[in-house]
Structure 1
Amino acid sequence: DAGKVASGAESESRRIAESEERRFNQLISFLRTTESTVNSHLEAIHQRLANRRSSLHKAHQAIVSRLANASQEAAASTPLLLAINVQRATFRSFDGALLSVGGEVQSAICRMAEDVCRPLLGLAREMKADGVAEASRRLMAAVVEMEAVVTRRGVELEEARRRIQAEEEANRSARKRLADCEREVRNLRQKVEAWEQGFCRSFQDRVGGAAQ
């Protein structure tokens, strides 16, 4: 009977050890998958921000070039110079905002790694040395804390995503305002040219009448 009990205890011990080994391997796999997913999303966000900055820079260069050419043709018209300065200030504002959002996303990911991944990695290393029951209890507590941290970081990332959308909407609005400004400047130039032509004709008519 004692031999059967000892054999049963040994068998149960092996079963528990194998079960914990599987859980340990699953935890390691989960951590690696989490790291890969986070890195992938981070790269995608940074690429999206880089594309937005590049698009904004190209649009800024094109608008400033058009306004500068128009300003030269109009002998450095004050409205055109003002429009150029407004465009440059707008570009600097949006470019800085996009950089700020990128930094916030990077910071959120780093905090997630510090709050979730590193503690779990440390726990995984200790699991083999700890007792089975204690390791299981600590693992469950860590998973509960991880869920809370991921929820908080998810809120931060969602806020960053909303800020990106807000900056994009503001960028579209600024482009529309600049387009309206360009149109008003063109209309002003046309009115000035029409006034100059009318003045010249009137002056010529008066000179011709005086000569007769």
Structure 2
Amino acid sequence: MAISTALISPVFAVASETTSPWRFTLGAGYIAGDVDTNAINATLNAQGHEAEVNNVDDDRFGFSAWLGYQWNDNLRFETGYLDFGEISASASGQIVDPDSFKQSLSDSLPLSAHGIALTVRPSFELTESLSAYGRVGPLYWKSNRDIEGLSSFDGSDSGVDWMLGGGVDWQFALHWALGLGWDRGNFDGDNADMFSLSVTYR
């Protein structure tokens, strides 16, 4: 038994050293919202708009896909695609001034978006198989708010803002890890927090 253990251990050591530095991660998560429809309509009415927003649903699912390069044991560079889901709503009423209404609605209704991120991902080991990480970088996002009942409303928005993230990874096999993570996208001041489960292959 001692001989076989001595022979097998170097095999795992060599395998660990030759593991590819590339990492591919897929994640799916939930985004919880807290939109006050009455507050939105009060703002719109106070600014003289006759149209009202109804049935705002901002509890939604999202997903992410990441390609990363492990620079060293504690630092990874990543590029990823994130989709923070879609906020759906319906509205009724007449838009007298489309540009003014769009601006007012943009100031009141939170954004959700999808886009490409470039991030730095520092990490540190908690145990031999468990690690914690952070994530920060610019997010190039695009959003489209299609409000049912207002065919003249064009709610397209885009921009570049910072995103933050963090989580823990459990490496359960040489090439595989499961993770629990949090990613926050910022879209012109509107935040979306996605709590997700992920799997990483390396």
Into which bin does the TM-score normalised by the smaller protein fall?
Answer: under 0.3
Identify, as 1 or 2, the structure richer in helix: 1
TM-score by length of 1: 0.27
Larger strand share, 1 or 2: 2
TM-score, length of structure 2 as denominator length: 0.28
